[in-house]
Amino acid sequence: MKKIIITGGAGFIGSHVVRRFVTKYPQYQIYNLDALTYAGNLENLRDVENFPNYTFIKADITDADKMYEIISEIDPDGVIHLAAESHVDRSINDPLAFVKTNVIGTVNLLNACRDIWKGRYDETLFYHISTDEVYGTLGESGLFTETTPYDPNSPYSASKAASDHFVRAYGETYGMNYIITNCSNNYGPFQFPEKLIPLFINNIIANKPLPVYGDGLYTRDWLYVIDHAMAIDLVYHKGAKHETYNIGGFNEWKNIDLVRLLCRLMDKKLGRPEGTADKLITFVKDRPGHDRRYAIDATKINTELGWKPSVTFETGLSETIDWYLENTEWLKNVTSGAYQKYYEEMYKNR
Ligand SMILES: Cc1cn([C@H]2C[C@H](O)[C@@H](COP(=O)(O)OP(=O)(O)O[C@H]3O[C@H](CO)[C@@H](O)[C@H](O)[C@H]3O)O2)c(=O)[nH]c1=O
């Protein structure tokens, strides 16, 4: 039986990856290693928690000894590494937390895998999940390809860039098998409401202001999280070792256009008069170092592995809104307590 450790499996993207692997591959034993920080939630995995091929391990990747102990005990065939601090605004307030988890945490995993897999690197894989933000920002035209030079602008993207470099370096220096994928903005069920789409859905439901940063003309390339999980599955099984793949939706939206679309859909679904949510739009002080535009060229994964997004943005967004409207209890749980304090702290200067 193949054994795979998925780090960060209780988080947003991680939980979709865990669900896919546990349900699709009964012949694999899946270990979800997660520290359960504010963004990790076992509620995200209630539907698979009793599957015989699923095991949850609460552990923090910043603990080197613990990583060594767990990885030597399980002796996995592969590690799919998603555990990360991921919110840009948080990284501006507390960069060191991002260095600890994203850089040191990744190196801790690499060190353990390097030692435990020694002599059989060819049969094992360290698959590192990363972001398009490592490439920095684009002007009006152009796309990020796998050969675009790294040029990160936020403490978050700098920490992810550093972790990518370490993974590559361990491949070159020690000969470990690795793959890195860099993906664009994800959206979908179970996303913590600090990111644009779930935050704004939450605020529209609660009739709270929608804080659009700067002029709102920043551009992001949006991908449904389930399509990302499908890409990760494909890359894990078919990707070439020591390679990088970009994953994106070829789906660029200026923030303000996306917010207006969201407002329109939400008014309709909530049975409110058209234009109600629009009135909540509030332009606020910009995010420092705000990247103007991201856009991914996903040609390589498309032509070499045959992956492409399976749903349109309109369908994915509509399903996402429905999910949040049906799961108000989940939303209430994750936004209680510390969330309110965080929210006020984050927006007090904006
Ligand atoms: C939270 C928030 C965001 N924004 C803007 C900032 C960005 O231009 C855009 C999306 O913001 P966020 O949802 O924070 O996502 P962004 O900074 O693009 O980064 C995301 O996408 C990245 C991939 O591109 C991931 O690596 C990151 O983990 C993820 O957080 O919306 C607002 O205008 N108002 C807001 O309140």
344 pLDDT more than 80: no
The closest-lying atom of ligand 1 relative to the alpha carbon of residue 88 is 17
Number of domains in the chain: 1
Handedness of CA 336, 282, 158, 132 (dihedral sign): positive
Structural domain containing residue 138:
2-187+222-247
Distance of CA 332 to the CA centre of its chain: 22
Residue 280 covered by a domain: no
The closest-lying atom of ligand 1 relative to the alpha carbon of residue 200 is 36
346 pLDDT more than 80: no
Q: Shortest CA distance to 290 belongs to which of 193, 212, 346, 228?
A: 212
198 pLDDT more than 80: yes
For residue 172 the two structure tokens come to 């070159």
The verdict on whether 215 is a catalytic residue reads: no
Distance CA 150, CA 307 (A): 24
Residue 341 covered by a domain: no
The answer to whether the CB of 10 falls within 8 A of the CB of 22 is: no
The pick from 12, 82, 102, 185 for probing ligand 1's pocket by mutation, whose C-beta has the most ligand atoms within 8 angstroms, reads 185
The answer to whether the CB of 159 falls within 8 A of the CB of 87 is: no
Distance CA 217, CA 293 (A): 9
| Residues paired with residue 337 on neighbouring β-strands, in sequence order | none
| Atom 14, ligand 1: residue with shortest CA distance | 195
Residue 256 covered by a domain: no
- Mean pLDDT, range 201-217, rounded to an integer: 96
339 pLDDT more than 90: no
For residue 51 the two structure tokens come to 């599957």
Give me the pLDDT at residue 349, please: 64
Residue 203 covered by a domain: no
Distance CA 109, CA 64 (A): 8
- Mean pLDDT, range 91-111, rounded to an integer: 97
Average pLDDT across the chain, whole number: 96
CATH number of residue 166's parent domain: 3.40.50.720
Give me the pLDDT at residue 335, please: 85
Q: Alpha-carbon dihedral of residues 289, 294, 300, 301, nearest 10 degrees?
A: 100
SS3 for 293?
A: strand
Residue 112 covered by a domain: yes
Give me the pLDDT at residue 343, please: 73
The closest-lying atom of ligand 1 relative to the alpha carbon of residue 183 is 23
With a Cβ cut-off of 6 Å, ligand 1 is lined by 86-88, 131-133, 184-185, 195-196, 199, 211-213, 218, 220, 255, 287, 294
Distance of CA 114 to the CA centre of its chain: 25
Q: How confident is the model at residue 350 (pLDDT cuts 50, 70, 90)?
A: low
Percent pLDDT > 70 in the chain is 99
Q: Convert the pLDDT of each residue in 105-149 to its tens digit.
A: 999 999 999 999 999 999 999 999 999 999 999 999 999 999 999
Single-letter code of the amino acid located at 220: R
Q: Convert the pLDDT of each residue in 21-64 to its tens digit.
A: 999 999 999 999 999 999 999 999 999 999 999 999 999 999 99
List the catalytic residue out of 135, 156, 178, 218.
Answer: 156
Give me the pLDDT at residue 81, please: 99
Q: How confident is the model at residue 315 (pLDDT cuts 50, 70, 90)?
A: very high
Q: Convert the pLDDT of each residue in 316-337 to its tens digit.
A: 999 999 999 999 999 988 888 7
Residue 342 covered by a domain: no
- Mean pLDDT, range 254-278, rounded to an integer: 98
HSE-up of 113 (CA within 13 Å, CB side)?
31
Contacts of 64 (CB under 8 A, 6+ apart): 108, 111, 112
